[in-house]
A and B are shown apart, each in its own frame.
Chain A
């Protein structure tokens, strides 16, 4: 069992950082919230809809960027995004395409094949795919992993912009990222929530220490064994 008795509630319009060491169950939780795998017990509810019973309806409201950003490398950017719009059931794919290209600033590379893009642009294609149907909720699994510092900053800005009118749940293990983007932090370790607080609240819990050492204290394996 990868996650055990996790319970949290995200109001709309928040950017929540979902933290934890590798193998803590971040991705598993996200896979449950997006309907890729079902929860073996308990309920996951997104926008008032239960994933056990209304999985297809939930998927219309959720945009998902999986870990490692899987893409069809032999497709063109616009071709792929139109396909993504199609399977997301978008009524007007052309305008949805333009909007998501604008939001992710993909315009300079829009006519290329995905295999020709740099990692940063590939990540933007993945994000554009996730928001092509204008979802209320965005679930992003390590959206900035493997990007260079410039790309990281650009990606953060894009996500911060999106967070103004969407609920965003993003996973990461980089603390600066959380400080730069999130209103709230949920920290899990070995499948259990060890902290769930606003960013400020977490900092105030031990004011003398950096977020990184708070993270280490809460998730360190030493002492738990």
Chain B
């Protein structure tokens, strides 16, 4: 598994995907946090990273899908999948190696935003004014959310040997689970059904963790979500054997 993990990381770094993803993420969150008039941290006057945590899920839909779009589709297109799957490694360790590499890259992308935390922490009045618990909760939520996106992206990339198709499927699925289910919950006419649909969406649990209260139900939801999509990926991956 770690051999695959290392290879994936090297391929991210070698193909510049890593730098582009990190650069784009920092630039866009930076613009939203500090530059956009009326809605940036300084104008709002609230010592929190909420601006970033609101916008990041949408940026990550695109970036995570871009990270994972080639993970399996490229192997299929090149035919190297036949080499990987005839080596003494199980299918699940191939998939987990690739999946964990994507998650590692996402975590690495989020790291530089700790500067934002430090900045706001230093600017806050009084000095300890930033909601530390809420911020760390939000970071954990964001990582779990992005990890869920990555499992969707892997699944999408197992379906096709075309990277663009994989990217689009992944973005649509991510948006559905993050955005659409959440919007359904707001429709008054749907009432209780809408609320339970909202519960199935990623945003409900992301918001819940962001409040800084770690609820095991949310953690279990995310882990179950990831396991489901990796299970689906494994199913498609093994369909060659049917």
What is the interface of chain A, defined by CB distance below 8 A to chain B? 31, 34-38, 56-57, 59-60, 62, 64, 66, 68, 70-74, 79, 83-84, 86-89, 129
Bound Cα distance A49, B11 (Å): 35
Binds A, one of B74-82, B157-165, B207-215: B74-82
**Contact A83–B3 (Cβ < 8 Å):** yes
Indicate whether B14 reaches chain A with its CB closer than 8 angstroms: yes
In the complex formed, the residue of B with least CB distance to A126 is B83
Bound Cα distance A71, B90 (Å): 20
Bound Cα distance A87, B88 (Å): 7
**Contact A64–B79 (Cβ < 8 Å):** no
**Contact A72–B88 (Cβ < 8 Å):** no
Question: Per a CB cutoff under 8 Å, which of B6, B14, B84, B87 touches A74?
Answer: B14
The 3 closest A-B pairs by CB, nearest first: A70-B79, A86-B3, A34-B86
Using known A-B contacts A37-B240, A74-B14, A87-B4, determine if residue A59 contacts B88 with beta carbons closer than 8 Å.
yes
Give min CB distance, A70 to chain B, whole Å. 3
Could you list 5 A-B pairs, sorted by A, with CB under 8 Å?
A37-B241, A66-B82, A71-B78, A79-B10, A83-B3
**Contact A87–B89 (Cβ < 8 Å):** yes
Give me 11 other A-B pairs in contact (C-beta within 8 A), A35-B85, A56-B88, A64-B86 excluded.
Answer: A35-B86, A36-B85, A36-B86, A37-B241, A62-B86, A71-B78, A72-B11, A72-B80, A74-B15, A87-B3, A87-B88
Give min CB distance, A173 to chain B, whole Å. 20
Give min CB distance, B98 to chain A, whole Å. 13
The interface residues of chain A lying within 8 Å CB-to-CB of B14 are: 74
Give min CB distance, A139 to chain B, whole Å. 9
Give min CB distance, B57 to chain A, whole Å. 31
**Contact B79–A66 (Cβ < 8 Å):** yes
The interface residues of chain B lying within 8 Å CB-to-CB of A36 are: 82, 85-86, 240
Bound Cα distance A62, B79 (Å): 18
Using known A-B contacts A83-B3, A87-B89, determine if residue A74 contacts B11 with beta carbons closer than 8 Å.
yes
In the complex formed, the residue of A with least CB distance to B81 is A70
The interface residues of chain B lying within 8 Å CB-to-CB of A71 are: 78, 80
Give min CB distance, A189 to chain B, whole Å. 24
Question: Per a CB cutoff under 8 Å, which of A38, A56, A60, A79 touches B90?
Answer: A56
The interface residues of chain B lying within 8 Å CB-to-CB of A70 are: 78-83
Indicate whether B7 reaches chain A with its CB closer than 8 angstroms: yes
In the complex formed, the residue of A with least CB distance to B77 is A70
**Contact B86–A83 (Cβ < 8 Å):** no
Give min CB distance, B75 to chain A, whole Å. 9
**Contact B80–A87 (Cβ < 8 Å):** no
The interface residues of chain B lying within 8 Å CB-to-CB of A57 are: 88
Render B57-80 as a binary contact track against A, CB cut-off 8 A, 1 for contact: 000000000000000000000111
**Contact B79–A59 (Cβ < 8 Å):** no
Bound Cα distance A3, B15 (Å): 41
The interface residues of chain A lying within 8 Å CB-to-CB of B86 are: 34-36, 59, 62, 64, 66
In the complex formed, the residue of A with least CB distance to B93 is A87
**Contact A64–B83 (Cβ < 8 Å):** yes
In the complex formed, the residue of A with least CB distance to B86 is A34
Bound Cα distance A60, B88 (Å): 6
Using known A-B contacts A70-B79, A129-B83, determine if residue A38 contacts B89 with beta carbons closer than 8 Å.
no
Bound Cα distance A73, B90 (Å): 24
The interface residues of chain B lying within 8 Å CB-to-CB of A38 are: 241
The interface residues of chain A lying within 8 Å CB-to-CB of B81 are: 70
Give min CB distance, B84 to chain A, whole Å. 7
